[in-house]
Amino acid sequence: MELCGKGGPPGLEKSIGQFALVAYIPDPLARFLDDLRLELTPDCKPHAHVTVLPPRPIDCDANVAEMVRQIAEDIKGFAPFRIDLGEISIFEASHVVYLGLGRGMSELRYLYRTLNRECLKYAEPFPYHPHITIAQNIPPEDAARIAVIAKQKWADYDGPRSFMVSTLSLVQHVAPAIWADVAALPLGVEVAVG
């Protein structure tokens, strides 16, 4: 996962220690998306992904092994699926420029509803809307201009516009702008968790 922008929004440090669940995007699509983010917001440390569970504090006595066990149990019967990418848009409330999704949205929403429970339950500040972030933590007045540039770059891109999700990654915010991989969990596979 990444965090972009000059220091991020106020209070960002409060998210250190939080966890999220993501599906990383493979190359060459990931390389294009990461390069685009760096061009639009040079302070980024991108790692292209789609978020399944947005960052959340863990408000229970669970440890990481219990979280991994819960996720592995919940996804063992869930088959890998394809995500098709759509168009560049802007979330008006947050001024985030993002790449919309087509096919795969229902699977992501189902995963979110299935996994947002017990130790991982969290009331999001915004409704869950699967997407790929292109630019965030930018001045509101820059969002439209950045979206125009992103739309042109996306229109010019001649690589793959879809990818398969076969593994989810549990990540933790360990330092400002740094998310560490905690566990990789394959879809549709029973995983022994010790």
Mean pLDDT of the 154-175 span: 94
Q: For residue 191, which of 77, 107, 63 has the smallest C-alpha distance? A: 77
Whether the pTM exceeds 0.75: the reply is yes
Beta strands in the chain (DSSP E): 19-24, 49-56, 81-91, 96-101, 132-135, 162-165, 167-175, 178-186
Whether 102 contacts 86, CB under 8 Å: yes
The whole-number pLDDT of residue 177 equals 75
Q: Which pLDDT does position 52 carry in this prediction?
A: 96
Pick from 10-14, 67-71, 154-158: least confident: 10-14
End-to-end CA distance of the chain: 26
Nearest to 98 by CA among 84, 86, 88: 88
pLDDT digits (tens, 9 = 90+) for 27-61: 999 999 999 999 999 888 899 999 999 999 876 55
Interval 118-138 mean pLDDT: 91
In the CATH hierarchy, which fold is given to the domain comprising 12-186? Cyclic Phosphodiesterase; Chain: A, (3.90.1140)
Cis before 28 (ω within 30): yes
Phi-psi category of residue 177: left, alpha or beta, with phi > 0 → left and psi -120 to 50 → alpha: left
Percent of the chain with pLDDT over 70: 88
- Picking from 31, 38, 54, the residue whose alpha carbon sits closest to that of residue 163 is 31
For the segment 52-109, what is each residue's pLDDT rounded down to a tens digit?
999 998 765 568 888 898 899 999 889 999 999 999 999 988 999 999 999 999 999 9
* pLDDT tier for residue 139 given thresholds of 50, 70 and 90: very high
| Ranges of each domain in the chain | 12-186
- Judge whether residue 10 has pLDDT over 50: no
pLDDT of residue 66: 85
